[in-house]
Structure 1
Amino acid sequence: MTSRTGSTTLIRQVSVFDGSRLQPAQDVVIDGPVIAALGPHLDAPAGATVLDGTGHTLLPGLIDAHTHTTDTAQLRQALVFGITTELDMGGAAETARRMRTAAGERDDLADVRVATTGATAPGGHPGQLVELGMIAPFPTVAGPKEADAFVAARVAEGADHLKIFIEDGTAIGKPLPLMSTETVVALVRAAHERGLRAVAHTLTRTAARQAIGCGIDGLAHAPADGPSDHALIEAAASNGVFVVPTLTVLTGMTPVPAEYALADDPRLRPYADPQWLADLEEIRAIDPGKRVGPIGVGPRHAADAAVRMFRLGVPLLAGTDGTSGHGHPTTHGISYHAELALLVAAGLTPAQALTAATAAPADAFGLTDRGRVAPGLRADLLLVDGDPTRDITALRDITALWRRGTPADRTAPLAAQTRE
């Protein structure tokens, strides 16, 4: 499927999670690309497909608030698992443009919003990947006087938001250059002047404090290098930032990545990328003591900080830091279900985790046409068997899903999909 069908669907007597709470069973009409109506007893439009929603829950399409997308196969894979929008947090500009264009034209892919090139100091993260030949050289920011031109160039590339790296190398065991506070402030100001939100890569408490003090809009990771003191938690709350905990990717730095359990779940495994499953088996075969390096961050501290921030009113957004999946546990689509389970294990209710997956990221990034189930919004919708507000894993039992009103085909074998 490559375009909107313009068809009409009536779902009878389905429970609706509207983005913030579960509503009683009702009828929902999807008309072409939008949600047309909700009500207790609606007449079936002429020619409508009628579905029985008894015992099911209808939710907004899920939003992954932290990914890195490099090909359309990843966007197909995300959609298969219920993610209808990805928020890409940095990569090659030409790739980002290509992904955004493809997602805008095709409804068999998750939609995507992009950051393009992230801001970092010369030699700063992820510049070490350039040295290893893993990524191409990219522009950097040497000081505050370069901030405005850097952000203007990102806008010209098509960026929807700005990514700023504040990474001193703690997570990889190698010291890395950092931008000055003045430079980060100038970048945030330049982004805001152009209507962009600024999101900071911050894995440590020191980096999170700097980002918050510089007026950042959101933290792309929760601080994970040790217990966060109350002053840091309060600073996040009082300065109005949001946080994307990315607990799943942090478990990938431990002996037991969260994806191990996902690969064994019969509700998920049949839809997983075969190459990812093969890579995961190779990772499992490696002695954990040899596979896990001396990395000074971990999911326990990130989870604690994120939940404490949330308790003080900080919007919490679900995101995976999903990458290509090859040689790494965290990937597009399937890993998102681990993220939600980890948020619940950390102390959120299932309903709060669902808000972190729908309305919260839509609000944080100004996506006013999605993230909720309401008349007039995009028909990015997910129908599951059971009640995920009671059991978050019910979200894995997908009965149907729509992107802009077009039903997604979950039957096409991923093995047959070619990377583009």
Structure 2
Amino acid sequence: MEENNILTNLPVDVLELMILNRLPLKDWLGLRATCRSCRKTVSNFIENKRCCHLPELPLVFLKSKKSRFLYSLGTKSVHRIRTPQLGRNNRCLGSVEGWLIVGDLSEKGFAKIFFSNPMNDVRITIPSKLHLPPSAQCDGKLHVSKMVASSKPNFDGSDCYLVGLLGDDCHIAIYKLFDKSWIIVEPDKDSRTYFIDLEIIGTQLYVCDGSSDSILVYDLKDSINGPPKAKVLIELPEIMPQESSIISNQGNIFLAKDEVLRELYLIYMLSNGEVKNQHVVFDHLKTPTSFVKPPQINIFEVFKLDTDKDSIGWQNVKLEDRVSFVSSYKSMVMSRDVLNCNKELRIGGNNIYFAVTFPCPINPWSGLEVGMFCLTDSSIKYFPVETSKQGDVPYPLWDGDNRDWSHYHKH
């Protein structure tokens, strides 16, 4: 009781500058639970951005039916977090600059979307419900497979676009913050559309289309007049033949962006394994629904979209002084110098950190894999993730802000 009184009576600036800036993430969570005053101070501190609200970047957010966790690469540890806004019918569909993009799927035929900050329980609800077409309401399918945003939710007048890939993998939903309704982009008639992944850079929406093996681009500014039209930007890059399989719908093809340099990357994750069940999309495209045992990851290939030339092309690249973080719900590329929170991460350029889940009915939790692939020597290092094995297998996504927060850390 006496310690609580001391914390309560401390001046706010002392608590922020002298204490919060020196605490790791797990102690922030503990301090918030101490008393109502500390909870308010820590939440305000995060909200006003006087310090990085995710001080141990990067983090993997894991959610099962019963538990929510943050796994920090900086500390190699799991932190259980209290997220009252994430109920049983809610799914994390993506993240942007430390905000989770969450879908409430409790109402049949609709999805209610909101932004959630897992550190201070701030919630920003999209006022318009997303009406789902019948094809995206099939049993066994997610209503919304994934969502990306052009920026965090803001109120400064700048545009913020939110784009979702629906559960049938051929419809796209577009929403501009403060607009009255969503815009649904339907596939062309008689076309066999199958979208794998999507990403936004500025107002350009890039979509990886597995049916045409190409990247499509939509200009989101055109959505003011109705659904924007797709343009075929470029075919997918070819990779060297290996004894591996590219599994489209399980996240083996990722679109990632460097937010600072506004560059688009395409990352292949090559793996092999014995498929238990699979879904035939087209003659040349089959997607597994479960495995006998989790596949073995063999290698990653990284390509950067080069737009400086007269003709747009792919460059097969190494990341050099950058690192990539890959998952089915969020992938990103950033300079290692941004990772000032951890010496091991800062010296580890040219690495890909992955967090994926392979469906494996016999031992579901064995399909959760978090690790690092080194592009220099093709070595793989797996990280242990000790979580409760109750309920369904968590689906991981990287959560973090792809900006340099070093000027917020005062010593």
Same fold (TM over 0.5): no
The structure in which a higher percent of residues are helix is: 1
TM score, norm. by length of structure 1: 0.32
Q: Which structure's relative contact order is higher, taking Cα pairs within 8 Å and 6+ residues apart?
A: 1
The structure in which a higher percent of residues are strand is: 2
TM score, norm. by length of structure 2: 0.32
